[in-house]
């Protein structure tokens, strides 16, 4: 189901040279993609920044996933950063596959929208950051390691928790903290901020 | 400076099929390496699990680092997972390069030890987890993306915070929580545990 974009303060553009900071702290992400009218979302703990400028990311997408066909077919995907309020959704779309549970998005309450100018890529509603990526085809990595590389071509964040190039979880509701998956349904929320030196 | 291994309870072997869980939640790591008598340690926010079994990891090691020459020369490295108590050390070894600050390890109080059977790889004292990795040479990735792939051949953790295949930060001192780097000296500690479903 595609819904209107979130209201602007929940979906502020992030300069591309700061996009790496949306995932630098290692949150679990949702990988969203669409191809030939089919939309899918899976969770991925194995996503990582790869470069600053132009920003690039890596993400592991198993051969057994439906998302893989959509990413390879469309040449594009997004990393959406869910928060504590989406923990059950994140576990659900990481557990169920669209190959065996065709209604997995509806079942887990996933709603998607599009960023202006990026209509080919669905973004997951209720996340706190989004990175739209253009697949940089690397057949050897994809085949051998299930490893995909993307160049970030658009980034946005919820200004309640990310503004001026930094996360600001302290002072925001705890349900907006990002998630770090371990295993067996267990996550950690992003915790206390520490500043070393003068910043 | 090489010191004796930590006492056993602070350095318990982790089964290799659970090694990915040491970094699945996206902590910032220290990359330690040695070659031809030279030891170095750098921090890396861009390290990530790549496979379960045999476990593999990715880590970005810039061409400007001294660590890169040691990893390429020795064909081995370790990812050491620092905790809050090592935040200043982690920032320090990520800021200073051994190329311009030859005494960077001493300056930042870094002490290393070796795991039994893995004498070629220094491990950083005071961390809460360690993954010894054998470099899987991928020249295209290394040259084009500064991206290195390693197979984990040994893993250990501090049983105060990791035991029975899981992190257990709740109930342990907060200085043993792992770190997630943002930028400019700012880190987040790993926060509250959330369990979705029955686990």
Question: Cis (ω within 30 of 0) for the bond into B54?
Answer: yes
CA dist., res. B25 & res. A184, Å (int): 13
Closest listed residue to residue B57, CA positions, set B159, B193, B148, B172: B148
Tell whether the model's pLDDT for residue B166 goes beyond 70: yes
Q: Do B179 and A188 touch (CB under 8 A)?
A: no
Taking CB atoms and an 8 Å limit, are A91 and B192 in contact across chains?
no
Note the ipTM here.
Answer: 0.96
Q: How far apart are the CA of A133 and the nearest CA of chain B, in angstroms?
A: 16
Could you read off the pLDDT of A77-135 as tens digits, one per residue? 999 999 999 999 999 999 999 899 999 999 999 999 999 999 999 999 999 999 999 99
Whether pTM > 0.95 for this model: the answer is yes
For A63-79, the pLDDT digits (tens) are 999 999 999 999 999 99
Are B76 and B132 spatial neighbours (Cβ–Cβ below 8 Å)? yes
In this complex, do A87 and B46 lie within 8 Å of one another by their Cβ atoms?
Answer: no
A192 contacts chain B (CB < 8 A): yes
In DSSP terms, which residues pair with B184 in a beta bridge? none
**pLDDT over 80 at B92, yes or no:** yes
Chain A residues with beta carbon closer than 8 angstroms to that of B184: 166, 199
Q: Of all residues in chain B, what percent carry a pLDDT higher than 90?
A: 92
- CA distances A52 to A19, B62, B75, B176, Å, are 8, 12, 26, 30
Judging contacts by C-beta atoms under 8 Å, the chain A residues touching residue B179 are 194
Q: Which two tokens stand for residue A70?
A: 């959509």
Could you report the per-residue pLDDT of A136-152, keeping only the tens digit for each?
Answer: 999 999 999 999 999 99
What pairs with residue A181 in β-bridges? Answer: A187
């Amino acid at each position: 189901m595609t819904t209107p974009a979130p209201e602007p303060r929940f979906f502020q553009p992030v300069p591309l040279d700061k996009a790496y900071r949306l995932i630098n702290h290692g949150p679990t992400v949702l990988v969203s993609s669409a191809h030939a009218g089919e939309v899918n979302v899976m969770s991925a703990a194995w996503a990582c920044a790869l470069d600053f400028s132009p920003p690039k990311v890596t993400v592991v997408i198993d051969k057994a996933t439906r998302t893989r066909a959509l990413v390879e077919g469309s040449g594009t995907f997004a990393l959406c950063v869910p928060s504590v309020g989406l923990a059950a959704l994140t576990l659900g779309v990481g557990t169920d596959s669209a190959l065996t549970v065709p209604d997995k998005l509806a079942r887990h309450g996933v709603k998607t929208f599009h960023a202006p100018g990026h209509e080919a890529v669905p973004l997951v509603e209720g996340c706190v950051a989004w990175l739209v990526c253009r697949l940089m085809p690397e057949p050897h990595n994809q085949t051998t390691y299930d490893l995909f590389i993307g160049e970030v071509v658009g980034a946005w964040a919820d200004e309640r928790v990310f503004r001026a190039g930094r996360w600001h979880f302290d002072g925001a509701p705890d349900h907006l903290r990002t998630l770090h998956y371990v295993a067996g349904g267990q996550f950690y929320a992003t915790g206390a901020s520490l500043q070393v030196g003068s910043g």
